[in-house]
Amino acid sequence: MKKDSKESSNISFIRDLITVVVITLIVGLGYPLFLYTTSIYRADLPVNEVNNFDIESISYKIPIYSNEPLDYNAIESGFRAKYPELVKEWQIEIVDRPEQAKYQIHLEESTGQDSFETNERDIVIKAQSQNNYNSYVQEVLFDNVFKDELETLKALKTDQYSLGVAFPYSPHYNLVFSLFTENGKNINWEIEEALNHFQSVSAFLKNITTFTINTQIQYYTKLSKHYENNYILESDLKTFINFNDWNLVNFDINPTINFLVYIPDNQLSIENSKTNSFLISQWGGIKLFNKNMPMMSNSKLLKEDLIPIMNIFTNQLFKLVGLPEGSQSLQIKLDSLERILIYKNIKNSLNNLKSLIKLSKSLNEITVPEETKQEILKCLENIKLAIENKSVEFSALAEQASNKAFFEKEMVQQAYFPSEHKLAVFLPLLGPIGSIVIFSVIRFIKKFKSTGVVGI
Cα 399 from chain centroid (whole Å) = 7
pLDDT band at 456 (very low <50, low <70, confident <90, very high): very low
- The answer to whether position 283 is within a domain reads yes
Residue 149 buriedness (CB in 10 A; 0-12 / 13-18 / 19+)? buried
Calculate the CA dihedral of residues 344, 350, 353, 355 and round it to 10 degrees. -90
Domain boundary among 320, 348, 380: 320
Going 418 to 421 to 426 to 432, the CA torsion angle's sign is: positive
User: For residues 96 and 55, is the Cβ–Cβ distance under 8 A?
Assistant: no
Q: Between these two residues, 422 and 169, which has the higher pLDDT value?
A: 169
pLDDT band at 389 (very low <50, low <70, confident <90, very high): very high
188 in the same domain as 75: no
- For the ranges 17-31, 47-61, 126-140, 330-344, the one whose mean pLDDT is highest: 330-344
Please give the tally of structural domains in the chain. 4
For residue 278, give the amino acid letter: F
205 in the same domain as 304: yes
| pTM exceeds 0.95, yes or no | no
User: For residues 47 and 377, is the Cβ–Cβ distance under 8 A?
Assistant: no
**What does the DSSP 8-state code read for residue 167?**
P
pLDDT band at 123 (very low <50, low <70, confident <90, very high): very high
Of 95, 67, 285, 291, nearest to 175 by C-alpha is 285
Going 292 to 294 to 299 to 304, the CA torsion angle's sign is: negative
Residue 12 buriedness (CB in 10 A; 0-12 / 13-18 / 19+)? middle
Cα 254 from chain centroid (whole Å) = 12
Q: Between these two residues, 366 and 202, which has the higher pLDDT value?
A: 202
296 pLDDT more than 70: no
Separation CA 11–CA 125 (nearest Å): 108
Q: Between these two residues, 55 and 36, which has the higher pLDDT value?
A: 55
Whole-number Cα distances in Å, 365 to 118, 368, 411, 417, 442 = 58, 9, 10, 9, 34
- For the ranges 158-162, 231-235, 341-345, the one whose mean pLDDT is highest: 341-345
Give first-to-last CA distance, the chain, whole Å: 33
pLDDT band at 247 (very low <50, low <70, confident <90, very high): confident
pLDDT band at 429 (very low <50, low <70, confident <90, very high): low
- For the ranges 110-114, 122-126, 452-456, the one whose mean pLDDT is highest: 122-126
- The answer to whether position 15 is within a domain reads yes
User: For residues 418 and 365, is the Cβ–Cβ distance under 8 A?
Assistant: yes
What is the span of the domain harbouring residue 35? 9-39+430-451
Where do the H-state alpha helices sit in 43-121?
47-51, 72-82
183 in the same domain as 307: yes
1 pLDDT more than 50: no
pLDDT at residue 265, rounded to an integer: 85
177 in the same domain as 302: yes
Sheet with 210-218: strands ordered across: 210-218, 172-181, 256-263, 284-288, 277-280
- Percentage of the residues of the chain whose pLDDT score is greater than 70: 84
Separation CA 250–CA 252 (nearest Å): 6
pLDDT at residue 426, rounded to an integer: 62
The DSSP element (H or E) to which 284 belongs, if any, is: strand 284-288
Domain boundary among 162, 185, 200: 162
Summarised one tens digit per residue, pLDDT across range 208-233 is: 999 999 999 999 888 888 888 889 99
Separation CA 169–CA 321 (nearest Å): 7
Mean pLDDT, the chain, whole residue set = 85
Sheet with 103-109: strands ordered across: 90-94, 60-66, 103-109, 122-127, 115-119
Q: Under DSSP, is residue 356 helix (H, G, I), strand (E, B) or coil?
A: helix
Cα 267 from chain centroid (whole Å) = 40
* Beta-strand runs (E) in 289-375: 300-301
- The answer to whether position 353 is within a domain reads yes
pLDDT at residue 436, rounded to an integer: 66
User: For residues 201 and 184, is the Cβ–Cβ distance under 8 A?
Assistant: no
- The answer to whether position 297 is within a domain reads yes
293 pLDDT more than 90: no
- The answer to whether position 424 is within a domain reads no
pLDDT at residue 430, rounded to an integer: 63
227 in the same domain as 111: no
User: For residues 301 and 187, is the Cβ–Cβ distance under 8 A?
Assistant: yes
pLDDT at residue 117, rounded to an integer: 94
87 in the same domain as 143: yes
User: For residues 75 and 138, is the Cβ–Cβ distance under 8 A?
Assistant: yes
Q: Under DSSP, is residue 198 helix (H, G, I), strand (E, B) or coil?
A: helix
Separation CA 43–CA 374 (nearest Å): 10
310 in the same domain as 197: yes
Separation CA 97–CA 423 (nearest Å): 74
Tell me, letter by letter, the H, E, C secondary structure of 321-332: CCCCCCCCCHHH
191 in the same domain as 132: no
CATH code of 213's domain: 3.40.390
pLDDT band at 422 (very low <50, low <70, confident <90, very high): low
User: For residues 261 and 221, is the Cβ–Cβ distance under 8 A?
Assistant: no
pLDDT at residue 401, rounded to an integer: 95
114 in the same domain as 51: no
Domain boundary among 162, 190, 223: 162
User: For residues 359 and 402, is the Cβ–Cβ distance under 8 A?
Assistant: no
